Amino acid sequence: MATVRLLSEEELSPEAQAVFADIRATRQSDFVNNFWRALAHDPATLKRTWEGVKAVMGEGVLEPKVKEMIYIAVSIAHGCSYCVHSHTAAARAKGMTEAEHRELLAIVGMAAETNRLVTALGAPIDEAYDIR
Amino acid sequence: MATVRLLSEEELSPEAQAVFADIRATRQSDFVNNFWRALAHDPATLKRTWEGVKAVMGEGVLEPKVKEMIYIAVSIAHGCSYCVHSHTAAARAKGMTEAEHRELLAIVGMAAETNRLVTALGAPIDEAYDIR
Amino acid sequence: MATVRLLSEEELSPEAQAVFADIRATRQSDFVNNFWRALAHDPATLKRTWEGVKAVMGEGVLEPKVKEMIYIAVSIAHGCSYCVHSHTAAARAKGMTEAEHRELLAIVGMAAETNRLVTALGAPIDEAYDIR
Amino acid sequence: MATVRLLSEEELSPEAQAVFADIRATRQSDFVNNFWRALAHDPATLKRTWEGVKAVMGEGVLEPKVKEMIYIAVSIAHGCSYCVHSHTAAARAKGMTEAEHRELLAIVGMAAETNRLVTALGAPIDEAYDIR
Amino acid sequence: MATVRLLSEEELSPEAQAVFADIRATRQSDFVNNFWRALAHDPATLKRTWEGVKAVMGEGVLEPKVKEMIYIAVSIAHGCSYCVHSHTAAARAKGMTEAEHRELLAIVGMAAETNRLVTALGAPIDEAYDIR
Amino acid sequence: MATVRLLSEEELSPEAQAVFADIRATRQSDFVNNFWRALAHDPATLKRTWEGVKAVMGEGVLEPKVKEMIYIAVSIAHGCSYCVHSHTAAARAKGMTEAEHRELLAIVGMAAETNRLVTALGAPIDEAYDIR
């Protein structure tokens, strides 16, 4: 199922082609996954989103695999199955070990549990946590 | 506001006292935050939850500060303000720099955006992501 | 904070007054909580919502306190602090004991944890669960 | 998969038949989608829900296509794939152009990003936004 | 799709085998569903999670079927389709009638509606709900 | 509470000052709300986020007030109280009437209810909704 068709290479506008070329160059891979093929109907959002992802996920102070693990954590909490699958693949490609994956999942599950307990209890934020 | 009273030291059951003692010993700090004081009404859940947190957040293959950053990511996505505050404090205490915090937030924001775009487009999961 | 003012008795439209009267009669209490005072700006939605709540939470096959506990569970998972507070009060008024409250919270926390683990693992639904 | 069977016309109770007849008359179409066929096991909830949808999505101050676009936005944020698909179809049927769909998705993605950044930062609500 | 392979009996580690044996003994059924087969890659989390579920869902003050209904409510609100299916099956196995299932769903839907209305209105928590 | 301090004008980096100047020029108002003051610790994310918001919320095919209403809908579904307050103020400033606000809220509430019912029922997406 999908709400828009996935675009093939032939159907891309020139602006979308340029973004796809940059995705391929940045990732050093010819594979462009379905998300970008669906988003390509809107070249402006495609370009803005890809440039955001490239800037945020590119070189910085955190390791690339750690960045992908944070992406996975958010995707799980948002219930986005596509995103969980694509970023789990990306994290593995960037060096996430199976032991790290297991630890990631244990943390996400634990956080979900305490997040909901806190909300249920209505515990007020401790003054010690206020940085003002 | 709260749905249960925060328990003072004097009001703790012996089982809750034992958990509080272990929290203090593990964290090497006398401070016990409001979440545990609210959860202490239920010594069994207090004990099970604390032991889960201790096992999951203790020594493993990921750095302690990275673990806290994953915890923050989940807490943001679940909209738990208390949790965001407490784990941001914990991550800083374990060495998260301000530059790392900024990068974390940028990733969480970006992930939220692409998570929702994917759901909106209904893009099917690429076969390349299936590990079966 | 609020996005609309809370209406006092004097400011209610006749349609809103009628709903407030029914809330009071149904609950056998003069107290009308802030949610309804905020919703009263829209008498049509006030009426439709109150009648939905009255029908759904009224006499049925589940005990009144169990119904409120289900309401609390949903409110926690949606991160609605107001709702958690108001329905925890309602559940207690309808007989929920502190032991039941503790058990409810433990279940909600546990469910949150396994919900997120399932999503992280992408486990396919077992055929045994399909009722078709 | 499903947790209840989808009911065929022959299996509908008289009350459910009446609701289906009203769905067909209101939409001027013979097609009744799976949601209603699943909900038809509970004629009371079927009736209440359909009447709510009919009242809320019927003639009002907002254009029908705008109403469907708001429905899509909520469905995306809740991660309901069925709802995203059905209301995207409905919005198109009511005149949403592809350009409008693209703009909708860009807004939803952007809102998701800033929503999560705000929660991460814990920014207090500006007094200017309080209407009291 | 899945992010890890489902483990067959032959692939289980001795620790995972022990957990599976306890799942079978506790449930008095040979069937072990996909969630546990996916989680079995991490025997420590498998064991901790199963023991948590067993403790929380085991004998207590609430009826077993009520506990499962609360589990379903949380799973719906988290958008976890696997969890909704598995716990709906579990609730039925523990005696949930179709009438109770229908009432559960009506409550969850109603709670979702009022949860979102409250958030939209920003209604402040009534002092009457504060237990401090 | 907050996890970072709100920056005053004097504390802004030159890059952040430039973004603030553009916010003021675009909105034709001297007021810069707390979100941007918190985000200003990270000039790169501040700039990228503001430029995204400006592009997405600027002139397009949808009316400015409709865009803000979609933003509100997402913010409610994500449980972001700050965002609900700020975008409700923005929508009103751009012409949203109280009648439109009421209709928006009724739709969001209704969508929340049917979203959760659909997930609970596990209804499969109708083929008619697939655009492939």
Identify which of B11, F13, C131, A71 has the alpha carbon closest to the alpha carbon of residue D38: C131
CA pair distance F126, A67, nearest whole angstrom: 37
> Terminus-to-terminus CA distance in chain F, angstroms?
48
The pLDDT value given to residue B130 = 83
Read off the tokens for B36: 């545990």
SS3 track for C94-114: CCCCHHHHHHHHHHHHHHHHH
Read off the tokens for E108: 């969850």
| Confidence band for F132, pLDDT divided at 50, 70 and 90 | low
Read off the tokens for C127: 């055929």
Of E79, E88, E102, the CB nearest to D45: E102
Q: At how many degrees (to 10) do helices A81-93 and C98-121 cross?
A: 60
The pLDDT value given to residue E71 = 98
Q: Do E106 and D45 touch (CB under 8 A)?
A: yes
Amino acid letter for position B131: I
Q: What is the mean pLDDT of residues C23-49?
A: 98
SS3 track for chain D: CCCCCCCCHHHCCHHHHHHHHHHHHHHCCCCCCHHHHHHCCCHHHHHHHHHHHHHHHCCCCCCHHHHHHHHHHHHHHCCCHHHHHHHHHHHHHCCCCHHHHHHHHHHHHHHHHHHHHHHHHCCCCCHHHCCC
Residues D79-97: tens digit of each pLDDT? 999 999 999 999 999 999 9
Residues C90-120: tens digit of each pLDDT? 999 999 999 999 999 999 999 999 999 999 9
Supply angle C-alpha B88, B102, F86, rounded to 5: 85
Amino acid letter for position E1: M
In eight-state DSSP terms, residue F6 is P
Q: What is the mean pLDDT of residues E124-132?
A: 89
Per the CB < 8 A criterion, the answer to whether C73 and C87 are in contact is: no
> Looking at beta carbons, which residues of chain A come within 8 Å of C120?
72, 76, 84, 104-105, 108-109
Residues A9-61: tens digit of each pLDDT? 999 999 999 999 999 999 999 999 999 999 999 999 999 999 999 999 999 99
Residue F1 has pLDDT above 80, yes or no: no
Rounded to whole angstroms, what are the CA distances from E111 to A27, B34, C31, E89, E106?
45, 28, 21, 23, 9
Q: Taking the CA of residue C54 as centre, how many other CA atoms within 13 Å lie in the half-sphere pointing to its CB?
A: 14
Q: Do B2 and E130 touch (CB under 8 A)?
A: yes
Number of helices (H), then strands (E), belonging to chain C: the values are 6, 0
Residue D30's CB: how many other CB atoms inside 10 A? Answer: 7
Kindly report the backbone phi and psi dihedral angles of residue A126, in degrees, each rounded to the nearest multiple of 5, phi listed first. -65, 140
Residues E67-88: tens digit of each pLDDT? 999 999 999 999 999 999 999 9
Give the number of A-E residue pairs with CB atoms closer than 8 Å.
22
Residues 6+ apart with CB under 8 A from C89: E128, E129
Read off the tokens for B4: 């249960």
Give the number of B-D residue pairs with CB atoms closer than 8 Å.
58
CA pair distance B41, A123, nearest whole angstrom: 13
* Biggest alpha carbon–alpha carbon distance for chain F: 58
Q: Which residue matches tokens 């949606």?
A: C78
Q: Taking the CA of residue E45 as centre, how many other CA atoms within 13 Å lie in the half-sphere pointing to its CB?
A: 29
Say yes or no: ipTM exceeds 0.90.
yes
Per the CB < 8 A criterion, the answer to whether B49 and B22 are in contact is: no
Distance in Å, alpha carbon of F79 to nearest chain E alpha carbon: 7
Read off the tokens for B78: 């679940």
Read off the tokens for A32: 């462009």
> Looking at beta carbons, which residues of chain B come within 8 Å of E6?
132
CA pair distance E90, A101, nearest whole angstrom: 29
The pLDDT value given to residue E1 = 77
Q: Do F84 and C3 touch (CB under 8 A)?
A: yes
The pLDDT value given to residue D132 = 66
The pLDDT value given to residue B132 = 66
Q: Which domains does chain A have, with CATH numbers?
A: 1-58 (1.20.1290.10), 61-122 (1.20.1290.10)
Classify burial at C132, counting beta carbons within 10 Å of its beta carbon; exposed 0-12, middle 13-18, buried 19 or more. Answer: exposed
Residues B3-51: tens digit of each pLDDT? 999 999 999 999 999 999 999 999 999 999 999 999 999 999 999 999 9
**Most B CBs within 10 Å: which of C78, C81, C104, as the mutation test of the B interface?**
C81
Per the CB < 8 A criterion, the answer to whether D35 and F118 are in contact is: yes
Radius of gyration of chain A (CA): 18
Q: What is the mean pLDDT of residues E34-38?
A: 98
> Looking at beta carbons, which residues of chain F come within 8 Å of C1?
81, 85
Overall size of chain B counted in residues: 132
Q: Do C52 and D55 touch (CB under 8 A)?
A: no
Q: Do F2 and A130 touch (CB under 8 A)?
A: yes
The pLDDT value given to residue A1 = 76
Residues F2-14: tens digit of each pLDDT? 999 999 999 999 9
Kindly report the backbone phi and psi dihedral angles of residue B86, in degrees, each rounded to the nearest multiple of 5, phi listed first. -70, -40
| Confidence band for C131, pLDDT divided at 50, 70 and 90 | confident
> Looking at beta carbons, which residues of chain A come within 8 Å of B29?
none
The pLDDT value given to residue C130 = 83
Helices (H), chain F: 14-27, 34-39, 43-57, 64-77, 81-93, 98-121
Sign of the alpha-carbon torsion through B65, A66, B84, C84: negative
Identify which of C36, C2, E127 has the alpha carbon closest to the alpha carbon of residue D130: C2
What are chain D's partners, defined as 3 or more CB pairs within 8 angstroms? A, B, C, E, F
Per the CB < 8 A criterion, the answer to whether B60 and A100 are in contact is: no
Per the CB < 8 A criterion, the answer to whether E52 and B52 are in contact is: yes
Averaged pLDDT of chain D? 97
CA pair distance C35, C115, nearest whole angstrom: 30
What are chain F's partners, defined as 3 or more CB pairs within 8 angstroms? A, B, C, D, E
Residue C74's CB: how many other CB atoms inside 10 A? Answer: 27
Distance in Å, alpha carbon of D72 to nearest chain B alpha carbon: 8
Strands (E), A26-89: none
Rounded to whole angstroms, what are the CA distances from F100 to A106, C12, F1, F27?
45, 19, 33, 23
Residues A66-104: tens digit of each pLDDT? 999 999 999 999 999 999 999 999 999 999 999 999 999
